[in-house]
Amino acid sequence: MSNPFSLSFPLLLTAGILLIQAHAETALQSSEQHTKNSHGLSQVAASSYVRPGHHGMIFESEDIANIGFIIGTECVAVVDTGGSYTEGMRLLQAIRSLTATPICYVINTHVHPDHMLGNKAFQQESTHFVGHQNLPQALGLVGDIFLDRLQTSKHSVQAATEIIFPDVLVSDTLQLDLGDRKLLLTAHDVAHTAADLSIYDPKDDVLWMGDLLFLGHTPALDGSLIGWIDEIEGLMQKQVAVVVPGHGPASVAWPQASHDLLRYLKGLRDETRVWIESGGDIQGAQEQLGLSERAHWQLFDQFHRRNVISAYAELEWE
Ligand SMILES: [Zn+2]
């Protein structure tokens, strides 16, 4: 099920990352209120912990994305590592405050820097880094750009941050055994990016969606608009007790939590199609399409125009 649009992904990604601003705070409330412990962790299920992201801009704040981990009897699996080495170290300390179980796996849900620049903190011989089969290519294109941006950012303690590539690749699905539970990883077709992974823990009935799911913060389209809609509609068929979004509350109710994102993506698709069919150009599209969504999202002006450019570039070839 390859997506022809994936051919243009590297260019879009490179251009997009340079422009990307941030993921910001969400005004939405979690479907369940979790009390954070002293390490800022929210326990979203029996063995599943989320360090919710805070408000801020990529390369200015390190702790923007929701990151977390799942504790098994034999292994811990980390899901994303934050925006710098120091942020990864904070997550490591948070894990060690709860368990001494070996960290066998670090799973990166996609290529964006707020999710994977903390990998270095977990680098040990016994730890495997797991990613989508397209993640190495994506990291090869933008990894050095991330590091340059980080070095020139307001943070002064980022010298230890490195790009750590995955050594376990997921091309379709992959099971990771943590002892008492087997995680099911799914490599998605091109959607939010070309390298989106989701992680399902059947024992806790938790689905970690990475940035396939945004709440409150304007979605960042870096892959395929049509593909993203398809993936979300597919995932909506799943009955899951707990969903962890890449940005937003630590956990949300599913499939209700997909509502805003789908409305945004479908509106963008429909308006862009009409615009292209009527002969409109890309400049006008940026100025006029999708503006009814502004009131629903934070950082709309920073992200929406770029999304329109991506949508136009994709849909003009239909
Ligand atoms: Zn993100």
Assigned domain for 110 exists: yes
Q: Encoding tokens for residue 144?
A: 């050095």
Assigned domain for 124 exists: yes
Assigned domain for 61 exists: yes
CA of 318 to the centre of ligand 1 (A): 28
- Phi and psi (nearest 5°) for 162? -135, 160
Q: What pLDDT band is residue 57 in, cutting at 50, 70 and 90? A: low
Assigned domain for 226 exists: yes
Domain ranges, residue 148 = 4-253
CA of 112 to the centre of ligand 1 (A): 6
Assigned domain for 260 exists: no
Strand partners, 191: none
How high is the pLDDT of residue 151? 80
How high is the pLDDT of residue 157? 56
CA of 313 to the centre of ligand 1 (A): 22
How high is the pLDDT of residue 277? 97
Q: Encoding tokens for residue 266?
A: 């479908």
CA of 277 to the centre of ligand 1 (A): 32
Q: Residue 208 maps to which CATH number?
A: 3.60.15.10
Reply yes or no on whether the pLDDT at 167 is more than 90.
yes
CA of 232 to the centre of ligand 1 (A): 16
Assigned domain for 282 exists: no
Measured distance CA(170)–CA(297) in Å, rounded: 32
Q: What pLDDT band is residue 62 in, cutting at 50, 70 and 90? A: confident
CA of 299 to the centre of ligand 1 (A): 13
What pLDDT, in 10s, does the model give residues 15-56? 344 333 333 333 333 444 567 888 899 999 999 999 999 766
Cα–chain-centroid distance for residue 182?
22
Measured distance CA(209)–CA(198) in Å, rounded: 5
In the chain, what percentage of residues exceed pLDDT 70?
86
Measured distance CA(60)–CA(1) in Å, rounded: 38
Mean pLDDT of the chain: 88
Task: Say what the pTM is.
Answer: 0.88
Assigned domain for 281 exists: no
Report which DSSP code applies to 217. B
Assigned domain for 296 exists: no
Total domains, the chain: 1
Q: What angle do CA 223, 226, 229 make, to 5 degrees?
A: 100
